[in-house]
Amino acid sequence: MIARGTGQPTVESLDTVAVAAADPDLVQPYADLGLQPDEYDRIRDVLGRRPTGCELAMYSVMWSEHCSYKSSRVHFRHFADLPRSERLLAGIGENAGVIAVSDELAVTFKVESHNHPSYVEPYQGAATGVGGIVRDILAMGARPVAVMDSLRFGDVDHPDTRRVVGGVVAGIGGYGNCLGLPNIGGEIAFDPSYNGNPLVNALCLGVLPRERLQTSKATGVGNKVILYGARTGRDGIGGVSVLASATFDDDGPARRPAVQVGDPFTEKIVTEASLEMYARGLVIGIQDLGGAGFTCAISETAAAGGQGMHVTLDAVPLREPSMQPWEVLSSESQERMLAIVAPADVDEVLAVCRRWGVLATVVGEVTDTGRLVVDWHGSTVVDVPPGSLADDGPVYHRPLARPAWLDDRQADRAEALPRPAPAELAAEVLKLVAAPNLAGTGWVTDQYDRYVLSNTVLAMPEDAGLVRIGDGPMGVALALDGPARFAALDPYAGAQLAVAEAARNVACSGARPVAVSDCLNFGSPEDPSVMWQFAEAVRGIADACRVLGLPVTGGNVSFYNQTGDKAINPTPVIGVLGVIDDVSRHTPIGFAADGDVVLLLGETREEFGGSEWAWVAHRHLGGLPPAVDLAHELRLHELLVSSAADGLLRSAHDC
C-alpha cells in the first residue's frame, strides 16, 4: 500500500504472501470483485492459504466470465469435433486463428465484442474495441491489414440511440482511421432489443509470412520479459469482471472508470515497432495486453511456456505513481504488449522501441520454478501456479431450458399477416427501402478510410470486403453477418442462417470460403432460457460449418448483454474468410453493363418469419425463420466461385 502524501510504500500495510500466511482468517471482499463463494474456496485450496489482495484481484479477473469462458466452454466441444483443415496453422485457444493461403503466406482474423464499454462510453468503448482486436492480430506475428465491424443499436426512435450510434461510429473511425487500417465492411442494424445494450463487434485481418507465426509462450529460463507501449494508468480497472461479466442495472450505465481510454497513435507506433522486432527475429514469445491487462499477459505467457516467471511489478511505468499493486495488475490501459526476449537481444529490442518512440521496460524474467511470482518494492505479493489463473478456471454446466414463450412466438406465423394489395406494393417497397435496416449505410461508412494500404478491392456497400495480399494477385475476402431476427425465433436455425449468409457473401465476391470466426452475443448465462439459446446457437454454427467444410478458428463470447431482466435477441455474429487466387476475377454487386443477363439462383418460397417486411409493415416478430438447406447452399457457393474464376460472371449479389 502507498502511504498518502509520501508516495513511498509502507511495508507494514502491504498484503504480502507472508502476511497472508500469517493472517489466514482475514475477511476478503471476494464477492465485490465478482467471485462466488465456492470460487473463493477453490482459490484457497489452490494456494493452501488465503490469497493476498493482489492474488485475489488476479483470480477475480482471470476467472471472470469474459476471460475464463466458464459458462460457454463446455459447449465448444461442438467446434472441436469439426474436421480439421490442412490450412489451419493455429486455432481456438490462440489469440486468433491462422490460415495458410500459400506456401509463403498466412492470414489471421478474429472478431471480438466490446459491447458493454460501448454502452457506457460509446466513443472510447468502440475505439478500444478496434484497438484490442488489432493487438490480438499483431500478437500472432501479422501485420494488421483491414478491419470490419458488426454494429447493433436500439430502435432508431429510442432516445438513447443517437448518443450511442454517434459515439460508436466516431470511435471506430477515430481509432481505425488513425491506425491506417482500411475498414472494408460489416453491418449495422437497429432493433429495440438492443435499446439497453448495443452490440459492437470488431474484426481484424492480418497477413504474415508463415515462418513468422508467433506464440505466447514464455520459455527459456533467464529470458527477459519486456513490457512496451503505453504507460499503465487507472483506466479500465476491473473491466472484464465488473463490467463485461455483469448485467446493467435498470438505471443504465454508471461504470465509466471501468472503460479504457484509447490512443491510436501509440497503437500505430507499437505496431510498427512490433513488426520490426519480428522481422529481426528478436521475439521468443509475445502477448497483447487486453482484457485483464498485465495479469492476463503474465499468467497466460507463463502458463503457455510451462515454466515459471518472476516479475518486478514496481518496474512497470505508471501514469500515476500512487497506483497500488493490485491496480497495476488489473489495469486495462490500452496499447501495451508483453514480449519474451533472450538476454542478448534486450538492447536491440529497446533500441527498436526507442527508434519508434515506444516506451519499453524489462519487468521480469522466465524462471524454472513453475510459479508466477510478483514482487512489489522488494516484497512478494503474488506466488501462484500460472496455470491456475490461465487454464484451470471454473467450468460451469449451467442449466438450460427452452423458453416457455417460444412456442407461442413460433405459432404466431408471419405468413398469416395481411399482405399489401397490388396497388399498395409500390408504397410498401418504398417504405422498406427507407427502413433503417435496409437503407444505405454510407452515412456511417463514409466516415471510415477504405483506401489506405492500397489493397482494397471491395469495401462497403459490397457483400464482402476483399483485399489483395502479398504482391497479388491473391486476395482474401471477409464477410461479417448476424442472424437478423431469425435467432429470436429459432437460435439453432438462426445461427445456421448467419453462417450461410456470411459464407454466401464471401462466395458472391468470387472468393472460396475457408474459415469462420464467431462472436456470440447473448444475455445472462444465469438465465436457463438464455443458456438454451446459446447452446442451440453453438450447435447450429457447428452443424452448418460441418456441412460447409469450414473450421471455427476462434472468436469471442459476450454474455450478460441485458439491462435488468430483458436480454437482447440472441445474436451469433459470424465472420467468414475466403480466398481468391486472382483478385482481378472478383465479382462486385453492381450491374456491370447494358444487356447483361440477370439470373436468379435458388428457389423463392413463401417465408416471412423474422423478415424485415414483417417488422417494417407490422412490427411483427413471430413464426419460423426461412428453411435452411446447407447442401444447396454449398452447391450455390461452388457455382458462384467457379463461375467467377472462369470469368462467366460480371457481378453477383445475394438476396
Chain residues binding another protein by CB under 8 A are: 170, 173-174, 177-180, 263-266, 268-269, 355-357, 446-457, 468, 583-584
Three-state secondary structure string covering 390-441? HCCCCCCCCCCCCCCCHHHHHHCCHHHCCCCCHHHHHHHHHHHHCCCCCCCC
Nearest partner of 578 among 473, 453, 479, 458, judged by Cα? 479
Closer to another protein by CB, 160 or 582: give it: 582
**Is 637 considered catalytic here?**
no
Q: Taking the complex as a whole, how short is the minimal distance between the CB of residue 170 and another protein, in angstroms?
A: 8
Question: What is the smallest separation between the CB atom of 323 and another protein, expressed in angstroms?
Answer: 24
DSSP letter (8 states) at residue 53: H
Counting every residue written for the chain, the total comes to 655
Contact 106, 100 (CB under 8 A): yes
CB of 358 to another protein, least distance (A): 9
Nearer to another protein among residue 405 and residue 451 (C-beta): 451
- Distance, in Å, from the CA atom of 45 to the CA atom of 22, rounded to the nearest integer, reads 16
Q: How far is the CB of 372 from another protein (least distance, A)?
A: 34
Question: Facing residues of 518 across strands?
Answer: 555, 574
218-242: burial string, b at 16+ Cβ within 10 Å, e else: bbbeebbbbbbbbbbbbbbbbbbbb
Q: Which residue has the cell 457447428?
A: 542
C-alpha 203/C-alpha 110 separation (Å) is 6
- Per the residue annotation, which of 66, 75, 586, 637 is the catalytic one? 66
Kind and range of the H or E run holding 364 = strand 360-367
State the minimum distance, in angstroms, from the CB of residue 264 to another protein.
7
Q: How far is CA 353 from the centre of its chain?
A: 27
CB of residue 103 to another protein, shortest distance in Å: 24
What number of CA atoms fall less than 13 Å from residue 618's CA on the CB side? 18
The least CB distance from residue 639 to another protein, in Å, is: 25
Catalytic residue among 114, 116, 586, 637: 114
What is the separation of C-alpha 47 from the centre of its chain, rounded to a whole number of angstroms? 32
Active site residue 66: yes
User: Which residue, 357 or 370, is less far from another protein as judged by CB?
Assistant: 357
Please give the Cα distance from 45 to 48 (Å, whole number).
5
- Residue 311: beta bridge partners? 364, 374
- Rounded CA separation 572/520 (Å): 4
> Using alpha carbons only, how large is the chain's radius of gyration in Å?
25
Residue 198, CA distances (Å) to 47, 253, 533, 563, 573 in order: 39, 12, 19, 11, 13
Q: How many CA atoms are closer than 13 Å to the CA of 310, on its beta-carbon side?
A: 12
Q: Which is nearer to another protein, 148 or 535 (CB)?
A: 148
Q: Where are the alpha helices (DSSP H) in 549-606?
A: none
> Min. distance of Cβ 230 from another protein in angstroms?
12
What residues are labeled active site? 66, 114
